[in-house]
């Protein structure tokens, strides 16, 4: 968890992500069996690796699980849910919910993928 109470993550198109090793150690966890979001956890160390919204075309990867060289964050979303007393810096855009710009980027990426929802290579 970040200092501001949030979780730093990066979204990637599913067709641009692959698990090069350790995929057999990933285990899904869902709030309910029918939940469309699955949290993928490495069962060897009980470490959350990413979220997969199965109805979507993207993966939500925890920023801390990725190697260096990741572009800096461009926005904070869902800030209305932050813990009481947390004051956010104004170094990037802070949105209380989802931003329209973000939703348009998601739609544009899906269009570029031909409206597909591919499986992620190496992930059960």
Mean pLDDT of 62-66: 87
Query: Which residue, among 66, 71, 73, has the nearest Cα to 89 in the 3D structure?
Result: 73
83 Cβ neighbours under 8 A, 6+ residues apart? 5
Quote the CA–CA distance of 105 and 2 in Å, as a whole number.
24
Quote the CA–CA distance of 117 and 62 in Å, as a whole number.
20
When pLDDT is cut at 50, 70 and 90, the band that residue 57 belongs to is: very high
Does the pTM surpass 0.85? The reply is no
Secondary structure of residue 107 in the 3-state scheme: helix
CA 65 to chain centre: 11
């Amino acid at each position: 968890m970040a200092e501001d109470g949030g979780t730093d993550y990066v979204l990637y198109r599913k067709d641009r992500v692959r698990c090069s090793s350790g995929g057999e150690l990933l285990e899904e966890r869902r709030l309910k069996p029918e939940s469309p979001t699955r949290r993928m956890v490495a069962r060897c160390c009980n470490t959350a690796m990413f979220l997969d919204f199965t109805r979507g075309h993207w993966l939500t990867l925890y920023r801390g699980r990725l190697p260096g060289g990741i572009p800096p964050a461009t926005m904070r979303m869902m800030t209305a849910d932050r813990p009481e007393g947390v004051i956010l810096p104004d170094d990037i855009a802070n949105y209380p919910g989802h931003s329209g710009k973000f939703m348009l980027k998601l739609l544009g990426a899906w269009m570029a993928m031909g409206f597909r929802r591919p499986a992620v290579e190496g992930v059960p």
